[in-house]
Amino acid sequence: MEMHRKTNERFDVVVIGGGAGGTSVAARLRRLAPRLRIAVIEPSAFHYYQPAWTLVGGGQYDIERTRRNTQDCLPRGVEWIRENVQRVEPDANAIMLGDGSRIAYRYLVVAAGIALDWDAIEGLAATLGKNGVTSNYRFDLAPYTWQCVREFRGGDALFTQPPMPIKCAGAPQKILYLAADHFARRGVRANISFFTPGPSMFGVPFFAKALAQVMKRYDAQPCYGHRLVRIDGPAKLATFEVTTQDGSKETSTRRFDMIHVVPPQSAPAFIRQSGLGDAGGWLDVDDATLQHVRHPEIFGIGDCTSTPNSKTAAAVKNQVPVVTANLLREINGKGEVVEYDGYASCPLTTSSRRVMLAEFRYGGQITPSFPADPRKPSPFYWWLKQRFLPFLYWDIVIRGRKWPVLHRPRKYGDALPDIQP
């Protein structure tokens, strides 16, 4: 239940963030150690299943099914503090909240997610949700993406990706494929372009080559070394900073009829301001144990941490048992150290009927859960994405229930399979 705070009230465990990571850890701790007094700090009244927003933007999912009340998602017996965090005082084991009150903790789990900076692109905030400018990275805008796709009658369709790291690095191109599939099915002629600051379609070469083939199938143009810096919605112009082959910078302006924009992203500011961040501002944790490198009573999970894995809900799912086991080991003074292997999964929607299921761990090692070549888009993976994974999230992961580890290293030949999006 939501609580009324008393200054300097003390909890055994405080969790900052009530999203996928924070809710799941709180629920798992509640199951394993019900006597612990746990609080979750989360300002939002709603909990969102964000992986489905891509499907919403492609007309394949109801937006209301991606949102539930925060109160209904948090486990019973956990106290909900509906506030923002101003700063953490790690030497005092205390947290200063947005209303000026202060709470204390024995142990802290930081699951604060990632900050989206809509103002980093000049003109973007003023034109979002109109003029054909949209983004699946916001609950209120994903339905507008589908409106833009549905009402598109031909012309220039642009899709952008900011510099890494971002949450769900495949999402910027997933909507491209869903839109391209919709256009093709209806005979709509479109000039489709994908703009990314990076040198390829995906950070793992094994999948990047396959996705380049998907782009060719749709006659879509990848534009590498491009970073969106300015957008003029009424004029329908997008300006990019382009890094040339010799490393110099220049600008390029492109016209659009619709554009899907992903904003630059960073760690929440309070992490750096509290002295808990690494050089990039991310919560500075051990890559394997997810324990803070300087403050052993602090653990991290999800998008806000310094771990070099892809920032996805699948990564969070596999981090939950690591954080809870190592936290309980710290509390009880016994137990084995559990390690996270960097696993992440990205179900890449190559059309409205097939998905390429990219699964990998630290170092880009390919670790599929199924023996079939994961580069081959499959209707079964589409079913997983659209039907099974929402169930897994709502009924298993955030409820703190165990789920078996299915992924493992597998080897495949260099030759690409037949790729039909």
DSSP states of 341-354: ---EEEEEE-SSS-
Each domain of the chain, given as residue ranges in start order, spans 9-115+268-332, 120-265
Bridge partners (DSSP) of residue 95 are: 88, 103
Question: What's domain 120-265's architecture?
Answer: 3-Layer(bba) Sandwich (3.50)
Query: Average pLDDT in the 178-202 region?
Result: 96
Q: How many helices (H) and strands (E) does the chain have?
A: 11, 22
pLDDT > 90? residue 245: no
pLDDT for position 35: 96
Query: Average pLDDT in the 184-210 region?
Result: 95
Active site residues: 168, 346
Query: Average pLDDT in the 45-69 region?
Result: 98
Side by side, the strands of the sheet bearing 249-255 are: 226-232, 237-243, 249-255
Same fold across 9-115+268-332 and 120-265: yes
According to DSSP, residue 262 is labeled: -
pLDDT for position 7: 62
For the stretch 148-184, pLDDT in tens is 999 999 999 999 999 999 999 999 999 999 999 999 9
Cα gap 336→346, rounded to integer Å:
30
pLDDT > 80? residue 1: no
Q: Predicted confidence band at 6 (pLDDT cuts at 50, 70, 90)?
A: low
Query: Average pLDDT in the 245-268 region?
Result: 95
pLDDT > 70? residue 255: yes
In the chain, the percentage of residues whose pLDDT exceeds 70 is 98
pLDDT for position 22: 98
pLDDT > 50? residue 84: yes
Cα gap 225→247, rounded to integer Å:
10
For residue 144, give the amino acid letter. Answer: Y
Helices 142-151/171-185 angle, 10° precision = 30
Query: Average pLDDT in the 312-330 region?
Result: 97
Helices 20-32/313-332 angle, 10° precision = 40
What phi-psi label fits residue 333: left (phi over 0), alpha (psi between -120 and 50 degrees) or beta?
A: left
CATH classification code of 9-115+268-332: 3.50.50.60
Q: Predicted confidence band at 4 (pLDDT cuts at 50, 70, 90)?
A: very low
Q: Predicted confidence band at 246 (pLDDT cuts at 50, 70, 90)?
A: confident
pLDDT for position 5: 52
Q: Predicted confidence band at 281 (pLDDT cuts at 50, 70, 90)?
A: very high
Q: Predicted confidence band at 244 (pLDDT cuts at 50, 70, 90)?
A: confident
Backbone angles phi, psi at 130, to 5 degrees: -155, 170
Q: Average per-residue pLDDT in the chain?
A: 96
Does the global pTM surpass 0.75?
A: yes
Query: Average pLDDT in the 292-319 region?
Result: 97
